[in-house]
Amino acid sequence: MKIENLSENAFSYRWDFGDEGSSSEEEPEYEYEEGGDYTITLYVNEGTFCESEHSEDVKISDKVDPSITLYNVFTPDGDGKNDCFKFDGTQIECGEYEWKVFNRWGEKIFEANDSFACWNGRINNQGNMVPEGTYFYLLWYGPEGSSPISGQIEVNY
């Protein structure tokens, strides 16, 4: 986390993050190893006539590794069941997310940067339905530069 320092007229800083961690930077970045309740204290101008301190309590959530459920078939036939192809999982809304669907000739037919987006079986979700068959996807999830997950999806009517 990046910490914003709102102190005025300060020339020295000592941060105590409440877990044995510390910093002397003006606006440090810090990452807790575990979730929990911590008190962050900033000491400024220690040992001088104008020394001061300020504390804030913070609650840090446990780290949760995202999980993605990948499907390999959907039936966009309008019956209200399995009409849309998307990725499900836990914590997927919290990360960088991009996915693309291609036909068998490598032409991109759908693209989304939203973890809640779904492909309805139409080119760019508009126009006519694509033919039944096998389509391919690439999914980038995580920090920039992550390797994509690839797979195939069967469209059945």
Can you give the pLDDT at residue 152? Answer: 95
Q: What's domain 13-60's superfamily in CATH?
A: Immunoglobulins (2.60.40.10)
Do domains 13-60 and 67-155 share one topology? The answer is: yes
- 105-114 burial code (b ≥16 CB/10 A, e <16): eeeebbebee
Can you give the pLDDT at residue 90? Answer: 66
* Antiparallel, parallel or unpaired: β 133-141 and 97-102: antiparallel
Can you give the pLDDT at residue 143? Answer: 65
Helix (H), strand (E) counts: the chain: 0, 11
Can you give the pLDDT at residue 61? Answer: 82
pLDDT for 62-91, tens place per residue?
766 667 788 899 999 999 999 999 887 766
pLDDT for 13-62, tens place per residue?
999 999 999 999 999 999 998 889 999 999 999 999 999 999 999 999 87
* Antiparallel, parallel or unpaired: β 52-60 and 88-90: unpaired
What ranges do the domains of the chain cover?
Answer: 13-60, 67-155
Instruction: Report the alpha-carbon angle 53-59-63, nearest 5.
Output: 130
pLDDT for 77-136, tens place per residue?
999 999 999 887 766 666 677 899 999 999 999 999 887 889 999 999 998 899 999 999
Can you give the pLDDT at residue 137? Answer: 95
Please tell me the pTM assigned to this model.
0.59
Can you give the pLDDT at residue 91? Answer: 61
Can you give the pLDDT at residue 24? Answer: 96
Q: Which residues pair with 55 in a beta bridge?
A: 41
- The topology (CATH level 3) of 67-155 is Immunoglobulin-like (2.60.40)
